[in-house]
Amino acid sequence: MNRLLIPTLAGTRLQLVPLAHSHSSGMFELWSAPEVCKFAGSAVDLRGREIPLPVSTVSESDRLLEFWLDRAARGTGFRWAVVDHGGSEFVGAVGYNAVGAYAEYAYHFVPRFWGAGHATAASQLALSWAFAEGTELVEVFIEPANLRSIRLVERIGFVSAGDAREGASRYLLKQPELRR
């Protein structure tokens, strides 16, 4: 695969910018939060070594950042940094574990921004982009106890597929079903 051309996407309240080394401190704030990591699953670095979550050092969260920069360079997946409109505040990260006609979407937000509508706004931008790029179906995997995340994806238009992977329930969104 080839390097993905990841655009900057702008909404009325926030922007999605390609994840970069400049987001290191934001990634540390995100991945050092136990409430973020509770439902995040496991994480590995470029060499397949497990990264303990929540992270306790910037170098550990930088291993996650490097993983996503490498995936983008290889064209197999990527993350955007979600930032406020001025670009000064890191709000979270969204992106695709897999891209193409069928894509797997993932999102994580810094807890101090929870409940402010950022997850909905960022997800709508990211999903609209994917569908405009030719994606036909997007899936997300959510642990059944993560009720906030389930409410988010259902509000956007995802529906339960009734199956699971590694204890996480699968939700699907087809292109014409995205709700505004």
The reported pTM is 0.93
CATH assignment at residue 66: 3.40.630.30
Q: What angle do CA 170, 149, 81 make, to 5 degrees?
A: 100
Q: What is the pLDDT of residues 6-32, one digit of tens each?
A: 999 999 989 999 999 999 999 999 999
State the average pLDDT over residues 27-40.
Answer: 97
State the average pLDDT over residues 146-173.
Answer: 92
What is the total count of domains within the chain? 1
What sign results for the dihedral spanned by CA atoms 96, 15, 112, 116?
negative
Residue 58 lies in a domain: yes
State the average pLDDT over residues 1-8.
Answer: 77
Q: Residue 97 pLDDT more than 90?
A: yes
Average pLDDT, the chain: 93
Burial zone of 49 (CB within 10 Å; 0-12 exposed, 13-18 middle, 19+ buried): exposed
Q: What is the pLDDT of residues 115-132, one digit of tens each?
A: 999 999 999 999 999 999
State the average pLDDT over residues 158-166.
Answer: 87
Q: Residue 180 pLDDT more than 90?
A: no
Beta-strand relationship, 168-174 and 159-165: antiparallel
Q: Residue 80 pLDDT more than 70?
A: yes
Q: What is the pLDDT of residues 41-59, one digit of tens each?
A: 899 999 999 999 999 999 9
Residue 3 lies in a domain: no
Percentage with pLDDT > 90 across the chain: 86
Q: Residue 62 pLDDT more than 60?
A: yes
Residue 47 lies in a domain: yes
Residue 112 lies in a domain: yes
If pLDDT is split at 50, 70 and 90, which confidence band does 164 have? confident
Residue 1 lies in a domain: no
If pLDDT is split at 50, 70 and 90, which confidence band does 2 have? low
Closest CA to 30 of 9, 50, 8, 51: 51
Residue 49 lies in a domain: yes
* pLDDT for position 48: 94
Residue 2 lies in a domain: no
Full residue range of the structural domain in which residue 115 is found = 9-177
Q: Residue 1 pLDDT more than 50?
A: no
